[in-house]
Amino acid sequence: MQSIFLSPIGIQSPRWSQAFPEAKVFNVENELPFNVRGSIIWALLSDASTFTYISKWVAAGARVIALTQHENSQEAKQALEAGANGYLHYLAVVPVLQQAGQVVEVGGLWLGVDLMRQLVFATANILAPVQVQELTQKLEPQLIPGKNHLELLSMREQSVAKAVAAGKSNKEVAKELDITERTVKAHLSAVFEKLKVRDRLHLVLILSGRL
């Protein structure tokens, strides 16, 4: 998918083009000169109107990742409610940008580690059985109800999955298991494929028995 970065002049990061060499960067977020369908729009949140544009872009067939200068849960909530598929700091390092793009491209949700922890804990506390069923239908997990999902994974994949489900970053998992971040990514990709999950939140819900 084509990546398009939108931000005011002077508030950009060289890491964007490093992560996505073919990406297009624009300075005016409400004037796109082409059809955005099938693109990932990385939009720097500047004011309340940006949330309106996010809804517009999503309706036009794009996926949107909201970029921020200061991460906070309220802003993340507004971005997700507007239809964004991700939310992270605009100065995120290249590997994180690439991971976020990969997750969103396959329909997943991307949040920073701290915000993901908050969302996971909040979800675990407030989801009622009927809501869990509704979420199950939306995520379309292709797993046999009641099956021990961990049995589908190797021992190392289980370790990685449990650590990620606890809200740890790839770097933290690598340090804990004494492996490289590249190995963590490889195991996590295998976990996602075997369990048919789209992102970390979905993984948490699966392993917690809520889906």
* pLDDT reported for residue 97: 92
pLDDT category at 198 given cuts 50, 70, 90 is: confident
User: What is the SS3 assignment for 32?
Assistant: coil
**pTM score:** 0.64
User: What is the SS3 assignment for 139?
Assistant: helix
pLDDT category at 121 given cuts 50, 70, 90 is: low
pLDDT (tens digit per residue) in 137-179:
444 444 433 346 778 889 999 899 888 877 778 888 999 999 9
pLDDT (tens digit per residue) in 39-87:
999 999 988 888 988 999 999 999 999 999 988 888 988 998 899 999 9
Q: What DSSP letter does each residue of 153-169 carry, written as one string?
A: S-HHHHHHHHHHHTT--
Weakest mean pLDDT among 23-37, 95-109, 132-146, 192-206: 132-146
For the chain, give every domain's residue range. Answer: 2-110, 116-207
- State the fold for domain 116-207: Arc Repressor Mutant, subunit A (1.10.10)
Phi, psi of 29, deg, nearest 5: -80, -15
Mean pLDDT, rounded, of the chain:
80
Angle at 22 between CA 87 and CA 38, to 5 degrees: 60
DSSP 8-state class, residue 35? -
* pLDDT reported for residue 119: 66
* First and final C-alpha spacing in the chain: 29
* Alpha-carbon distances, residue 143 vs 22, 51, 128 (angstroms): 37, 35, 21
CATH classification code of 2-110: 3.40.50.2300
* pLDDT reported for residue 132: 43
